[in-house]
């Protein structure tokens, strides 16, 4: 019993999570959503090359990606599909 007490006393204290409180992101007047069936893998990258991170949200079903341009101050523009050579870019081999 003393051993159990000492092990409990001397074991490291669990640390609190280092995450901020989650929030729902808005882009324009809409909530940012991942389309069914999921696997969206949201990522931040400066697609528009204006020095502000943009939010890219993938779409597993058709292999497309929606880009929400960063406006600064935590605001995002409504999303547009990522384009490649003037057409909506698609990742091949996805459903």
**DSSP run (H or E) holding 8:** helix 2-10
Whether 70 and 56 have beta carbons less than 8 Å apart is answered as: no
pLDDT at res. 25: 87
The pTM score is: 0.70
Whether 35 and 59 have beta carbons less than 8 Å apart is answered as: yes
Per-residue pLDDT reduced to its tens digit, 20-41: 888 888 898 888 887 776 667 8
Whether 32 and 26 have beta carbons less than 8 Å apart is answered as: yes
Closest to 55 measured CA to CA, from 37, 76, 35, 24: 76
Whether 66 and 59 have beta carbons less than 8 Å apart is answered as: yes
Per-residue pLDDT reduced to its tens digit, 61-93: 778 889 999 999 889 999 999 999 999 998 877
**Cα separation, 14 vs 31, whole angstroms:** 35
Whether 95 shows a pLDDT value over 60: the answer reads no
């Amino acid at each position: 019993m003393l051993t159990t007490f000492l092990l409990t006393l001397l074991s490291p204290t669990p640390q609190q999570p280092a995450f901020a409180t989650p929030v729902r992101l808005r882009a324009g007047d809409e909530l940012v959503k991942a389309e069914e069936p999921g696997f969206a893998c949201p990522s931040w990258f400066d697609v528009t090359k204006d020095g502000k991170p943009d939010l890219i949200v993938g779409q597993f079903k058709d292999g497309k990606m929606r880009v929400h341009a960063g406006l600064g101050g935590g605001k995002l523009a409504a999303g547009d599909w990522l384009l490649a050579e003037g057409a909506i870019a698609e990742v091949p081999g996805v459903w």
